[in-house]
């Protein structure tokens, strides 16, 4: 509960190395009534999760240092973070090998291809937060 006795806003951790993407998505997600924090790569995201576990991680796949696949791998391997749902965004074509890798993680609840309309992101985040998502839906 928040200080005013209202439920706390759901928390989305946005992980991307592109400042413009982070800014645009953060503003849109906040306008939808959610709390947003951001990390520039998977390593920073793991540090943030350790101190303030989000309700959802929304991560890019391609980042310097620790990329999205390794972030998801480490979240899944840790019993304390294994249950945090993840949405993945990517601007790259997902070949069958990458598709199989992503599908092997039960915590991945969706993959969104860049570029995407903000309403697709908000809808996917709300769907996951409401526990309606199963499998890996595609938004292209």
Is there a contact between 55 and 63 (Cβ–Cβ < 8 Å)? no
Collapse the DSSP code of 74 into the 3-class scheme (helix H, G, I; strand E, B; otherwise coil) and give the result: helix
Residue 1 lies in a domain: no
Q: Please check the confidence at residue 137 and state whether its pLDDT lies above 60.
A: no
Let me know if residue 60 belongs to a domain: yes
Give me the mean pLDDT over the 73-90 stretch: 92
Among 16-20, 58-62, 97-101, 111-115, the least confident range: 97-101
> 5 lies in a domain?
no
Query: Does the residue 86 lie in any domain?
Result: yes
CB 83: neighbour CB atoms within 10 A?
11
Q: What DSSP state is assigned to residue 66? A: S
Residue 4, domain member (yes or no)? no
Asked if residue 99 is part of any domain, the answer here is: yes
Q: How confident is the model at residue 4 (pLDDT cuts 50, 70, 90)?
A: low
Model's pTM, two decimal places? 0.85
The set of residues, in sequence order, having a beta carbon less than 8 Å from that of 112 and lying 6+ positions away, is 87, 88, 89, 90, 120, 121, 124, 139
d(CA 127, CA 67): 25
Within a domain: residue 3?
Answer: no
Structurally, the chain folds into a number of domains equal to 1
CATH code for the domain in which residue 111 is found: 3.40.50.2300
Other Cβ atoms less than 10 A from the Cβ of 106: the count is 11
pLDDT higher than 70, residue 1 = no
Residue 75's SS3 state is helix
Is residue 123 included in any domain, yes or no? yes
What local confidence, expressed as pLDDT, does residue 23 receive? 96
Q: What is the Cα gyration radius of the chain?
A: 14
- What residues make up the domain containing 28? 11-139
Name which residue leads in pLDDT, 134 or 17.
17
Mean pLDDT of 87-103: 80
Say which residue, 116 or 137, is predicted with more confidence.
116
The pLDDT > 70 percentage for the chain reads 89
């Amino acid at each position: 509960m928040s200080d005013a006795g209202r439920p706390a806003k759901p928390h989305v951790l946005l992980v991307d190395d592109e400042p413009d993407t982070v800014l645009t998505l953060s503003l849109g997600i906040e306008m939808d009534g959610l709390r947003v924090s951001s990390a520039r790569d998977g390593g920073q995201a793991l540090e943030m999760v350790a101190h303030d576990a989000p309700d959802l991680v929304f991560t890019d796949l391609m980042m310097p240092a620790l990329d999205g696949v390794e972030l998801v791998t480490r979240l899944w391997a840790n019993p304390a973070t294994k249950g945090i749902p993840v949405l993945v965004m990517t601007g790259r074509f997902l070949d069958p090998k990458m598709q199989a890798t992503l599908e092997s993680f039960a915590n991945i609840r969706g993959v969104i291809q860049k570029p995407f309309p903000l309403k697709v992101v908000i809808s996917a985040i709300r769907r996951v937060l409401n526990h309606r998502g199963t499998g890996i839906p595609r938004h292209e």
